[in-house]
A = this chain, B = another copy of it.
């Protein structure tokens, strides 16, 4: 088979369409013939040499895909050759074939094309695990989404609305702010201004019960100020740095929590593994997708051989929703 390999750490040009060994399914695994793979910020970090794949994972980038089952390993039940599926991957999605534990497979939600489902699983599992399972967001609460127009943000806004939350989203241009509003955000906030003040104003001083942040240190103190009493700050990226000062008195007085996670390094099974998250997504998020309340937002579908161009778009910023790499015809 062919797949996109990373020649060496560097810019988008290091991505190359090269011949790779065909994957074989081990126990509990299936092989998918990939139809589409989602592009994530983590792929860019991996290309730059800053996010090495976990032990045992494919060296090729790609944390999610959709496709058809082409081989089934021993011990797998519920999946047969020819089934359509989408999957959470530890790597290897930018390829014609990928091997994946069956616990990380999901059916294609009704109403979503096989192609567009390729960009739905990583974002779905990330949001559901952080915002709902760990952040505890529930109806009637206020949810602040940083980077509301990105692949994660566009999904998060919709999930927040579908759960019955008031959703506030930050973005960096009027066009993207409008996109957040169109997706259902109750308030769109230009992050070049003082977002804490805007959050307080929009919530009559209450603040945000749950904040989803991908900036890290640069936003930390302001996020603490923007949290409501008993609020939860969930960090899923460190684009604004990892190290910063924290004032624990703010946590204590406001009874708030700060947590961070990444999905990729989780094991397959166990109470904190990928399996339980995928299962919760299937049970609780997929119905929201099938009802149309949470739609995949696709910026562009790009042939996988043009992965370099996709990463150039990621590097340039301004991608609204997800980029998909489409494999085959």
Interface residues of A (CB under 8 A from B): 134, 216-217, 220, 229-230, 235-236, 238, 242-249, 251-253, 255-262, 265-266, 272
Can you report 14 residue pairs joining A to B where beta carbons are below 8 Å apart? A230-B272, A235-B248, A235-B251, A242-B249, A242-B252, A243-B245, A243-B249, A244-B245, A244-B248, A251-B258, A251-B259, A251-B260, A257-B257, A258-B259
* Closest B residue by C-beta to A252: B260
What CA separation (Å) do A261 and B258 show in the bound complex? 12
Question: Which B residue's beta carbon lies closest to that of A255?
Answer: B261
Nearest residue in B to A134 (C-beta to C-beta)? B257
Bound CA–CA A220/B244 (angstroms):
13
Q: Which 6 A-B pairs have the closest CB atoms?
A: A257-B259, A251-B260, A242-B249, A252-B260, A246-B246, A230-B272
Contacts of A262 in B (CB 8 A): 252-253, 255
Contact residues in B for A257 (Cβ distance below 8 Å) = 134, 257-260
Contact A247 B256, CB 8 Å, known A272-B229, A272-B230: no
Q: Which residues of B contact A256 (CB under 8 A)?
A: 259-260
A72 to B148, CA, bound (A): 52
Distance, CA A294 to CA B313, complexed state (A): 60
Contact (A243, B251) CB under 8 Å given A257-B134, A259-B258: no
Contacts of A252 in B (CB 8 A): 235-236, 238, 242, 260-262
Q: How far is the CA of A258 from the CA of B236 in the complex (A)?
A: 15
Contact of A246 among B229, B245, B255 (CB under 8 A): B245
- CB of B244 within 8 A of CB of A249, answer no
Write out the residue numbers on chain B whose beta carbons fall within 8 Å of the beta carbon of A230. 272
Q: How far is the CA of A158 from the CA of B134 in the complex (A)?
A: 27
A267 to chain B, nearest CB (A): 9
CB of A216 within 8 A of CB of B272, answer no
- With a cutoff of 8 Å between Cβ atoms, the chain B residues found around residue A251 in the complex are 235, 258-260
Add 4 more A-B contacts to A229-B272, A253-B262 (CB < 8 A): A244-B245, A255-B259, A255-B266, A256-B260
A238 to B247, CA, bound (A): 10
A134: chain B residues within 8 A (beta carbon): 257
